[in-house]
A and B are shown apart, each in its own frame.
Chain A
C-alpha cells in the first residue's frame, strides 16, 4: 500500500539567471513499512526529492502525495500540520534546538501536538531510553557527541509515531561504528513499529542495509533495486 507517490515530479532552481534542473520527471511509489534509500552522486536530486516529499519545498511541476494527501495544494499551515503528525525528519547536521535539553527537544514535538505534560515526559523519556540515552535526558546538544545528538534526532523524529521518517544523510557526520549502531536502531524501529524510512545517502553502509535502493542520476531514477525478499524486481532505466 503506497504511502508516498510522486508523479512526473520536476524541480527547477534559478541561480544567477541560470536554471538548474534538479528533478526531471520522477515517478516513485514507496509502500508503507519500506526501509529505502535514495543514492546517487552530489547534485543528483536526492535531498531535493526528500524535501519535496517532506513538504519543505514545492515542485515546479508534477504531484506528490503522502498518505493520500496531495501536498501541492496545501497551505504553509497545513504542511506544518502534516510534517508534525505524519512525517519525522532526521538531518545530516542533527538540527536540534540548542537551548533545549535532549528531553525537551523530543518533548517539543509532543508539545506542538498538544499532549499533556506528564504524558509528554513519559513518552519522551521512554523513547530516549530506547535509543540508549536514558542517562542523558537533561544534557543540551552541545554536551552530547555527534552520535548521541543524531540519536536524539531519531527519538524526536519517531516520538510522534509518524507514518514516515525522512532521513537526509543521517550517517554523514558519524564514524563507522556509530553510524552502524544508528542504522541498526532505525532498522529495528522499522521492523517493530512499522515506520517507513526513506534515506538519502552517499554512505555505502546505508546502501547495503537499505531494503530498496533507488539510484538517482541527474534528477532521474536510474535504478530501482530491491535487495530483500519483499519484492524481487529490478528496474533499470
Chain B
C-alpha cells in the first residue's frame, strides 16, 4: 500500500511536471517560432511603440555584428507596423509584416503554418505584392485565396497610403491571438509603400538553442554599443509569456501540494495500520528491553525503505509513460480553442529534465519522512503491557 501510494504519487507528480513542462516549452517555442525569434535588434524605442519612425538602416556594421556572432544560426530582416485591412465585407486593424520569404523560412515557422491546400501557398519573393493572412481572419473578412483586400496605413510623412493585395495564402499558427492580428507581405513592397527606402523595423535572430540566447544578445550589445539600437531577447519582448510560465509553475506547485497531502495521509494511514497489525509484536519487543527510540527508528527505517522502493517504481513508471507520450504526444484537440489561446498547440509532448527527477525525489523522500513521524512516535509510545494483552 505504501509503495503503491508513493509510486503513484511520484508518477502523478512527474507526469504533471512533464505535461506542464511540455506545455510551457511549446508555449515558449511556438511564440519564438511564430514571431519573436530568440533575439531581435530594433531601433531604440521600437518595442514599446511599433511605429515607422523607429525604422533603421541595416548598415554593414550591424549586419557584420549579427553574421559574425558565433551563437547566431539564422536571421532575417523585417518591416512591421500597424495598419488597417479591408475586404468588401469588413475591416480590421492588423500588424503587417514585410518579410524576406526565404530567410523567414529559416527563422520562423510561418512557412510550416501556411496551409498547402485550396491554392494557398507561402510568399515567394521580397518583392511580392501578395499577402498572407490567417484562416481565422479570412473567415472574419469573408476572403478566399485569390481574393483582393486593401491595406491602409500612415506612411513616414503621415500620409494615408493604401494598396490592393491578392491573398496568396492562409496560415494557422498554434496562437489564436497571433492569427487574429498579423498578416505578411514582401519586405520590398512594404518598404516602397511606406516610403522608408531600405530601412527595416527589426532583425530577428535564431540561436543554436535557448541557452545561447543571453550570450548572443550580450555579445551583440557589446559590439553595437553606442548605436541607438535595442537588442532584446525573447524574454524581454514577451514578459507576459514569462509570467504565464511562472503562473503555470505556481499552479504546478499547488497541484503537487494537493497530491502530496493526499500521499502523506495515505502513507501515515498505512504505516499506522501496519503498526496496529504488529501491536502485540511491538509490545513483546518493548517488554524485553527495546527502547522507545529504537521502535520509532524502526518505523522510520521501514518508511524510508518503502519510500525508496516506491520512488524507484514511480520514476520507472514515469520514465516509461513520459517517453511514450513524449513520442506520440497527448492530443488535446477537443480543447483546441483553449489550447490555441495559450499558444501551446493542440498536441502536448511531455518532457522531463534531470532536475525534475531530483526535485521530485527529494520532495517524495521528505514527504515519506514527514508521513512516518506520527506513526513512529505512536509506535514508540505504545505501552508494552497494553500491547502484550492485545492479540
Which A positions have Cβ atoms within 8 angstroms of B?
Answer: 51, 54, 56-57, 76-77, 80-85, 87, 89, 91, 95-99, 108-109, 112, 156
Residues of B within 8 A of A82 (CB): 289
**21 A-B contact pairs sorted by A residue (CB < 8 Å):** A54-B287, A56-B287, A56-B388, A77-B291, A80-B290, A80-B292, A81-B289, A81-B291, A84-B288, A84-B291, A87-B289, A95-B280, A95-B284, A95-B388, A96-B284, A97-B281, A97-B285, A98-B281, A108-B285, A112-B289, A112-B291
The A-contacting residues of B in range 278-314, CB under 8 angstroms, are: 280-281, 284-294
Residues of B within 8 A of A91 (CB): 388
Residues of B within 8 A of A57 (CB): 385
Measured CB to CB, the closest approach of chain A to B295, in angstroms, equals 9
Residue of A whose beta carbon sits closest to that of B294: A112
User: Main SS of chain B's interface residues?
Assistant: helix
Whether B289 and A56, one on each chain, are in contact in the complex, defined by CB atoms closer than 8 angstroms, is no
Measured CB to CB, the closest approach of chain A to B289, in angstroms, equals 3
Q: What separation, in Å, do the CA atoms of A81 and B292 have in the docked complex?
A: 10
Whether A95 and B293, one on each chain, are in contact in the complex, defined by CB atoms closer than 8 angstroms, is no
Residue of A whose beta carbon sits closest to that of B292: A76
Residues of A within 8 A of B284 (CB): 95-97
Is B384's CB within 8 Å of the partner chain A?
A: yes
Query: Interface digits, B367-391 against A, CB 8 Å rule (1 contact, 0 not)?
Result: 0000000000000000011001000
Residues of B within 8 A of A97 (CB): 281, 284-285
Residue A109 contacts which of B288, B293, B294 (CB distance < 8 angstroms)?
B288
Whether B291 and A80, one on each chain, are in contact in the complex, defined by CB atoms closer than 8 angstroms, is yes
Whether B293 and A51, one on each chain, are in contact in the complex, defined by CB atoms closer than 8 angstroms, is no
Residues of B within 8 A of A51 (CB): 385
Residues of B within 8 A of A76 (CB): 292
Measured CB to CB, the closest approach of chain B to A11, in angstroms, equals 12
Whether B293 and A56, one on each chain, are in contact in the complex, defined by CB atoms closer than 8 angstroms, is no
Q: What separation, in Å, do the CA atoms of A56 and B284 have in the docked complex?
A: 11
Which of B281, B288, B290, B388 is packed against the most chain A CB atoms within 10 Å? B288
Whether A83 and B292, one on each chain, are in contact in the complex, defined by CB atoms closer than 8 angstroms, is no
With known contacts A51-B385, A56-B385, A95–B292 Cβ distance under 8 A: no
Residue B292 contacts which of A54, A77, A85, A112 (CB distance < 8 angstroms)?
A77
Residues of A within 8 A of B388 (CB): 56, 91, 95
Residue of A whose beta carbon sits closest to that of B380: A76
Measured CB to CB, the closest approach of chain B to A155, in angstroms, equals 12
Measured CB to CB, the closest approach of chain B to A151, in angstroms, equals 16
Residues of A within 8 A of B280 (CB): 95
Measured CB to CB, the closest approach of chain B to A204, in angstroms, equals 26
Q: What separation, in Å, do the CA atoms of A82 and B285 have in the docked complex?
A: 14
Known: A80-B291, A81-B289. 7 other contacts (CB 8 A): A83-B287, A95-B388, A97-B285, A98-B281, A108-B285, A109-B289, A156-B288
Q: What separation, in Å, do the CA atoms of A51 and B281 have in the docked complex?
A: 17
Q: What separation, in Å, do the CA atoms of A108 and B292 have in the docked complex?
A: 15
Residues of A within 8 A of B292 (CB): 76-77, 80
Residue of B whose beta carbon sits closest to that of A75: B292
Residue of A whose beta carbon sits closest to that of B391: A93
Residues of A within 8 A of B384 (CB): 56
Residue of B whose beta carbon sits closest to that of A91: B388
Q: What separation, in Å, do the CA atoms of A57 and B387 have in the docked complex?
A: 12
Query: Interface digits, B62-100 against A, CB 8 Å rule (1 contact, 0 not)?
Result: 000000000000000000000000000000000000000
Q: What separation, in Å, do the CA atoms of A232 and B371 have in the docked complex?
A: 61
Measured CB to CB, the closest approach of chain A to B294, in angstroms, equals 7
Measured CB to CB, the closest approach of chain A to B290, in angstroms, equals 6
Whether A89 and B293, one on each chain, are in contact in the complex, defined by CB atoms closer than 8 angstroms, is no
Whether B289 and A85, one on each chain, are in contact in the complex, defined by CB atoms closer than 8 angstroms, is yes
Residues of A within 8 A of B281 (CB): 97-99
Whether A112 and B290, one on each chain, are in contact in the complex, defined by CB atoms closer than 8 angstroms, is yes
Residues of B within 8 A of A85 (CB): 289
Residues of B within 8 A of A95 (CB): 280, 284, 287, 388
Q: What separation, in Å, do the CA atoms of A156 and B285 have in the docked complex?
A: 12
The A-contacting residues of B in range 112-150, CB under 8 angstroms, are: none
Residue of B whose beta carbon sits closest to that of A76: B292
Q: What separation, in Å, do the CA atoms of A57 and B280 have in the docked complex?
A: 16
Q: What separation, in Å, do the CA atoms of A76 and B284 have in the docked complex?
A: 15
Whether B293 and A83, one on each chain, are in contact in the complex, defined by CB atoms closer than 8 angstroms, is no
Going nearest first, the 5 A-B pairs with the smallest beta carbon separation are A84-B289, A83-B289, A95-B284, A80-B291, A56-B385
Residue B293 contacts which of A77, A99, A156 (CB distance < 8 angstroms)?
A77
Measured CB to CB, the closest approach of chain A to B378, in angstroms, equals 14
Q: What separation, in Å, do the CA atoms of A20 and B385 have in the docked complex?
A: 17
Q: What separation, in Å, do the CA atoms of A82 and B290 have in the docked complex?
A: 10
Which of B284, B292, B293, B388 is packed against the most chain A CB atoms within 10 Å? B284
Q: What separation, in Å, do the CA atoms of A83 and B291 have in the docked complex?
A: 10
Which of A51, A95, A98, A156 is packed against the most chain B CB atoms within 10 Å? A95
Q: What separation, in Å, do the CA atoms of A164 and B343 have in the docked complex?
A: 79
Measured CB to CB, the closest approach of chain A to B278, in angstroms, equals 9
Q: What separation, in Å, do the CA atoms of A83 and B384 have in the docked complex?
A: 12
Q: What separation, in Å, do the CA atoms of A96 and B292 have in the docked complex?
A: 19
The A-contacting residues of B in range 316-364, CB under 8 angstroms, are: none
Q: What separation, in Å, do the CA atoms of A84 and B285 have in the docked complex?
A: 10
Residues of B within 8 A of A80 (CB): 286, 289-292
Measured CB to CB, the closest approach of chain B to A110, in angstroms, equals 11
Q: What separation, in Å, do the CA atoms of A96 and B280 have in the docked complex?
A: 10
Q: What separation, in Å, do the CA atoms of A85 and B291 have in the docked complex?
A: 12
Measured CB to CB, the closest approach of chain B to A179, in angstroms, equals 22
Residue B288 contacts which of A77, A83, A99 (CB distance < 8 angstroms)?
A83
Q: What separation, in Å, do the CA atoms of A87 and B287 have in the docked complex?
A: 10
With known contacts A95-B388, A98-B281, A89–B294 Cβ distance under 8 A: no
